[in-house]
Amino acid sequence: MSKNKNIAALIFLTAGLIIGLGISINYDAVENGYSEETGAVISEQAVDVLSRTNNAMAELVSAVKPSIVNISSTKTIRTHGTGGPFFNDPFFNRFFGDQFGQLNRPREHKQSGTGSGVIVDKDGYILTNNHVVQDADEILVKLSDKSEYKGKVIGADPKTDLAVIKIDNGSLPAVKIGDSDSLKVGETVIAIGNPYGLSQTVTSGIVSAKGRANVGVADYEDFIQTDAPINPGNSGGALVNVKGELIGINTAIFSTSGGYQGIGFAIPSNMARAVMKSLIKEGKVIRGWLGVSIQTVSEEMAVHFKLKDQHGALVAEVVEDSPAEKAGILRGDVIIQYDGKTVNDADHLKNMVAMTMPETKVNALISRDGAELTLMIEIGELSSKIQMASGEFDYDNVLSGVSVQDITPELKRSLNIPQRVSGVMVSFVSPESGASGALIQQDVIVEINRRNIRNADEYRNTVSKIRSGDGVLLLLIRNGSAIYLTLRGK
């Protein structure tokens, strides 16, 4: 009885304290949500909508996360000795011993890296970036349930920065691949990966833009731009839509600090799917070939070539006996539509042709002297022989196997290159090249043998005159700093 009296007294005392302090409680507000500062009440409808949105996002993430894996790779790095004129001198070796000579011997050390991957087939096929697994001696794949498997590279394509690896497990949770072409700017997207080794990290944002090129990551660029936070280690992870479908492979960020700054890039799923199928079936990527040298239409060119709009790809040259020549394409033509799709610029057309299977017949809408005509083209295959004929790898010297591209203002900003600097950016270095291990992607070549290089044409003219056994002195911009680099002749 005394216990009940005490409880009653406590209730009475609390009520009196509330009344004495002038505190009133709006029980409806507590139920629905209440802001003490504004006195605003959150309605049941609003809470319900937000709750359903939260539950939907959580459900989506829960369905997709098991398809995202962590990839750890280990590769052997070989470095040259410290060098110098005395290290091979018998006189110095005699007085200082063998240890002195050993300083000039090549050394090896292991380098580890981490990235992300996406399970796209229950039989163990995983999509990731080429740079995540490039030159790896060992690949370890960790699933969402913490189980680990050794990975094997099925195929890689440096030109799109994509790779396919496989693990031995026949019952994996594969993500559904969506149609990236149907993606709209402003759509909500979610990025899932392993930034800084933090596994299964989820971020969200919107599609900021489509068809981004000249980023400087790969030869074939058609990126989805997003503001969903992407950080180092997210490479190879998934960008998914609200249906939980894979619509992009996270690849790169735009940053002046190395961290997230609101701009990330993902390879569209349609491009990734085409590359993956070709790598699995053929062991290489089979690309279409048109046989033209093209450039983007400027505002002045649009007026000169009597175009209605500033879009399309201007044909500067037609390769002899190519699909383009056989179809009747001429120098000065502007290709404004390809296979029923509007051609935005030269990079857009390059990507569309590359993704077209050889022997496919497509219609191209051409603007010629202000008049429009449609031509039927049977696409050929871009072989290594054709690439060499185009001047990409046809040098018999130490720079054979090095691809470069002109530097755009966008690249200068993204790579922290001063505006006054001119040169060419390294977009690809073949593993068989004499420059492999010395030159890296995104190096900017400013000089070759003390000669200024202002564009790709000057680069080709200079490199074509270098003999097989000649050494080369390069002046580079790397990570914002100027360095000299020497390459030994073949």
Residue 130 has pLDDT above 50, yes or no: yes
pLDDT class for 388, splitting at 50, 70, 90? very low
| Per-residue model confidence as pLDDT tens digits over 244-274 | 999 999 987 665 555 566 788 999 999 999 9
Q: How many CB atoms lie within 10 A of CB 174?
A: 18
pLDDT at 386: 54
Distance CA 133, CA 352 (A): 27
Q: Which residues contact 396 (CB under 8 A, 6 or more apart)?
A: 467, 468, 490
What is the percent of the chain with per-residue pLDDT over 70, rounded to a whole number?
79
pLDDT class for 32, splitting at 50, 70, 90? low
In the chain, where the domains are located: 2-64, 65-282, 288-381, 393-487
Lowest mean pLDDT among 134-138, 148-152, 268-272: 134-138
| Per-residue model confidence as pLDDT tens digits over 65-120 | 999 999 998 887 665 544 444 445 555 555 555 554 555 555 666 777 888 999 99
* Mean pLDDT to the nearest integer, 477-481: 82
CA atoms within 13 A on the CB side of 305: 26
pLDDT class for 304, splitting at 50, 70, 90? confident
Provide φ and ψ at 451, rounded to 5°. -105, 130
Distance CA 245, CA 39 (A): 42
Pairwise pLDDT comparison (154 vs 317), residue with the higher score: 154
Pairwise pLDDT comparison (457 vs 165), residue with the higher score: 165
Catalytic residues: 131, 161, 235
pLDDT at 411: 72
CATH of 393-487, one of 3.50.50.60, 1.20.58.340, 3.30.930.10, 2.30.42.10: 2.30.42.10
Global confidence as pTM: 0.68
* Mean pLDDT to the nearest integer, 227-231: 83
Q: Are 65-282 and 288-381 in the same CATH fold?
A: no
| Per-residue model confidence as pLDDT tens digits over 413-438 | 767 778 788 888 887 777 767 888 88
pLDDT at 201: 87
What is the CATH class of 288-381? Answer: mainly beta
**What share of residues in the chain are helix, strand, coil (percent, to 5)?**
25, 35, 40
Domain 65-282 sits in CATH at 2.40.10.120
